[in-house]
Amino acid sequence: MKKKFLIITIIGLMSLSLKAQILTPVKWSYGFKSISKVEVVVFLKATIDQGWHVYSQTVKDGGPVKTSFTFTPSAAYTLVGKTIEPQPIIKFEKVFGMDVRYFEREVVFQQKIKLKTGRVTVKGQLEYMTCNDRKCLPPDDVEFHIDVK
């Protein structure tokens, strides 16, 4: 009986240990704002833990993975222009040997959309990479959907 209890306890502690090792320093949230009857701006907001940063859409080749957005094509809406971002921080990072553009604490990316119907769900996927002063996490893909009324 004691051996079974000990084995169950060890397995439980190991699973807690593995779960504790998963870092998620970036949380994504989404919203929209109507700017006319047929146009909206969707917002893709990254809230970034202290000490971490997320890279711009305009990182040059040879550097970290840039943030990118892929919107699922739909007959219900069309994209107007490109996804825009605020002015990033520009800093030389030794690990990449180049100036990189990134954001700290939070960043809101915006995409203007023209609606073809009254109510739509904007879907897509974003890819981003996050680093701190000691390490980088592998790039992550996140699916999103934004219900626009």
Domain locations in the chain as residue ranges: 24-148
Average pLDDT over residues 60-75: 96
Average pLDDT over residues 127-132: 96
Q: Which tokens sit at 54?
A: 């997320």
Q: CATH topology for 24-148?
A: Immunoglobulin-like (2.60.40)
Count CB atoms within 10 A of the CB of residue 48. 20
Residue at token pair 């949230």: 29
Residue range 98-107: average pLDDT?
Answer: 97
- Could you tell me the pTM of the whole model? 0.84
Q: What is the pLDDT of residue 17?
A: 42
Q: Which residue has the tokens 């593995």?
A: 18
Looking at the DSSP bridge assignments, the partners of residue 48 are: 26
List pLDDT tens digits, range 108-128: 999 999 999 888 999 999 999
